[in-house]
């Protein structure tokens, strides 16, 4: 259900973790309200008794433009099926391609070519900065809402918003061509499943050629559904792969704690949370704090990961590199490597 309310104010039942999420309990059931400016998404366990009652009060006080089953919100198409829900930005992607005269381009299978090494090049041929920023802004919105597969490429290209060159523009147009090829991709959410959290964490050591900082990537799944993702260049230079992985692990745990707290506040029960990491030294450091020449450079703030693993808040599990889905958030991948990860996350628009 969706309604557009005006001047909606926070109430005493708002979430501590996210003040835009409100929980209401009633003798006939319970409700979750998510507010974004003047858009209001309502999830209710009893539509007849609870939703209509609350919506009537909102309508009387603020006025409602539209109230119906949720099918489109914030540029995201919501396809509700009998046994699953799909989130798609097909229409937005098509408008983005048309805006930049790319609607008839030839598609490509990967967001970024593994052979292309982008750097800040003051001597390179300059590109139009306004056009470049417009492309990256549109891509960033798609990435944030429904497309984790382009997160690394968008993060990488966002580093060159000032004084972009032709090489950067070429990479941005390549990413638009990837969206052309993958317009049908939808995030897939089945209605039934377990209550387990899975976090995939990875890092690319020294991948930024400008700063030699590493890139962290993480994916958080609940009930087998992807609910959160991030690709971000680390704020410090890591002196080893284990150190870079440990920084990524710490950041992922911080995000995982926030999501679990939010889940508790809206009444979601869950069992264990497993962190999947493919770097053995990183897992060894997290479980056994041995100070060596290789590890003593890790900032103290990263060591909180060990505490949460040792006290059982998070379980750690070693997986192979071919199973590390977060790998696509840390570096460009070939089509053969990327496809299994993409198939795990996306369904196709029907």
The CATH number that applies at residue 285 is 3.30.420.10
- The CA-atom distances, in angstroms, between 150 and each of 2, 125, 184, 211, 218 are 28, 25, 14, 22, 13
**75-86 mean pLDDT:** 89
Task: Verify that 295 and 225 share a domain, yes or no.
Answer: yes
> Looking at the domain assignment, is residue 246 inside a domain?
yes
Cα end-to-end distance, the chain, whole Å: 21
Query: Does pLDDT of 8 surpass 50?
Result: no
Confidence of residue 53 (pLDDT cuts 50, 70, 90): confident
Task: Verify that 209 and 173 share a domain, yes or no.
Answer: no
**128-132 mean pLDDT:** 97
Task: Verify that 103 and 19 share a domain, yes or no.
Answer: no
Task: Verify that 207 and 312 share a domain, yes or no.
Answer: yes
Confidence of residue 113 (pLDDT cuts 50, 70, 90): very high
Q: State both tokens at 218.
A: 């993480």
Task: Verify that 198 and 315 share a domain, yes or no.
Answer: yes
> Looking at the domain assignment, is residue 100 inside a domain?
yes
d(CA 86, CA 84): 7
Estimate the crossing angle of helix 280-287 against helix 241-265, to 10 degrees: 60
Confidence of residue 195 (pLDDT cuts 50, 70, 90): confident
Single residue among 70, 100, 120 that ends a domain in this structure = 70
> Looking at the domain assignment, is residue 76 inside a domain?
no
Query: Does pLDDT of 312 surpass 60?
Result: yes
d(CA 90, CA 78): 11
> At 44, phi and psi to the nearest 5?
-135, 145
d(CA 121, CA 163): 9
User: What pLDDT score does 10 carry?
Assistant: 37
Give the residue, 83 or 251, on which the prediction is more confident: 251
> At 312, phi and psi to the nearest 5?
90, 0
- 345 with 151: CB under 8 angstroms? no
Mean pLDDT, the chain, integer:
87
The predicted-structure confidence for 16-42, as pLDDT tens digits, reads as follows: 888 888 887 777 778 888 888 878 888
Which of 91-95, 213-217, 239-243 shows the lowest per-residue confidence on average (mean pLDDT)?
239-243
d(CA 309, CA 318): 13
d(CA 86, CA 237): 39
> Looking at the domain assignment, is residue 336 inside a domain?
no
Task: Verify that 14 and 93 share a domain, yes or no.
Answer: no
DSSP alpha helices (H): ranges in the chain? 52-61, 90-99, 129-145, 151-157, 166-181, 241-265, 280-287, 304-310, 335-345
**48-70 mean pLDDT:** 74
Sign of CA dihedral 111, 135, 189, 10: positive
Q: State both tokens at 293.
A: 């020449």
SS3 content of the chain, % helix, strand, coil (to 5): 40, 25, 35
The predicted-structure confidence for 299-309, as pLDDT tens digits, reads as follows: 666 777 888 88
Distance of CA 306 to the CA centre of its chain: 24
User: What pLDDT score does 322 carry?
Assistant: 92
Place of tokens 């890092």: 203
Which of 17-31, 70-84, 106-120, 180-194 shows the lowest per-residue confidence on average (mean pLDDT)?
17-31
Give the residue, 267 or 342, on which the prediction is more confident: 342
Task: Verify that 217 and 242 share a domain, yes or no.
Answer: yes
Confidence of residue 2 (pLDDT cuts 50, 70, 90): very low
Task: Verify that 247 and 303 share a domain, yes or no.
Answer: yes
Confidence of residue 244 (pLDDT cuts 50, 70, 90): very high
Domain count, the chain: 3
Q: Which residues of 25-55 are buried (b: 16+ CB within 10 A; e: fewer)?
A: eeeeeebbbbbeeebbbbebeeeeebbeebb
pTM above 0.85, yes or no: yes
What domain range is 20 assigned to? 2-70
> Looking at the domain assignment, is residue 329 inside a domain?
no
């Amino acid at each position: 259900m969706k309604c557009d309310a005006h001047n909606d104010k926070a109430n005493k039942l708002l979430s501590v973790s996210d003040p835009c999420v409100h929980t209401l309990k009633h003798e006939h059931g319970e409700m979750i309200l998510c507010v974004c400016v003047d858009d209001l998404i309502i999830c209710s366990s009893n539509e007849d008794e609870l939703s209509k009652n609350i919506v009537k009060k909102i309508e009387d006080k603020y006025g409602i433009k539209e109230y119906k089953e949720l099918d489109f919100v914030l540029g995201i198409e919501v396809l509700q099926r009998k046994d699953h829900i799909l989130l798609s930005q097909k229409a937005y992607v098509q408008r983005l391609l048309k805006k930049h005269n790319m609607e008839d381009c030839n598609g490509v299978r990967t967001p970024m070519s593994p052979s292309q090494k982008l750097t800040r090049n003051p001597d390179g041929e300059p590109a139009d900065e306004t056009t470049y920023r417009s492309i990256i802004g549109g891509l960033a919105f798609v990435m944030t809402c429904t497309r984790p597969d382009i997160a690394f490429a968008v993060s990488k290209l966002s580093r060159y918003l000032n004084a972009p060159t032709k090489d950067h523009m070429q990479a941005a147009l390549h990413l638009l061509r990837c969206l052309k090829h993958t317009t049908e991709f939808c995030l897939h959410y089945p209605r039934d499943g377990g209550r387990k959290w899975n976090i995939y964490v990875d890092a690319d050591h020294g991948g930024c050629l400008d700063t030699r900082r590493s890139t962290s990537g993480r994916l958080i799944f609940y009930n087998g559904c992807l609910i959160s993702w991030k690709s971000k260049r680390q704020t410090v230079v890591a002196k080893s792969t284990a150190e870079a992985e440990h920084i990524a692990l710490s950041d992922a745990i911080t995000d995982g704690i926030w999501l679990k707290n939010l889940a508790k506040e809206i009444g979601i029960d869950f069992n264990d949370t497993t962190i999947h990491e493919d770097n053995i030294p990183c897992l060894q450091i997290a479980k056994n704090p041995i100070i060596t020449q290789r590890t003593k450079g890790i900032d103290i703030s990263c060591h909180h990961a060990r505490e949460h693993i040792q006290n059982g808040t998070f379980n750690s599990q070693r997986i192979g590199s071919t199973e590390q889905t977060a790998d696509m958030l840390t570096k460009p991948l070939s089509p053969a490597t990327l496809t299994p990860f993409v198939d795990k996350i996306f369904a196709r628009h029907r």
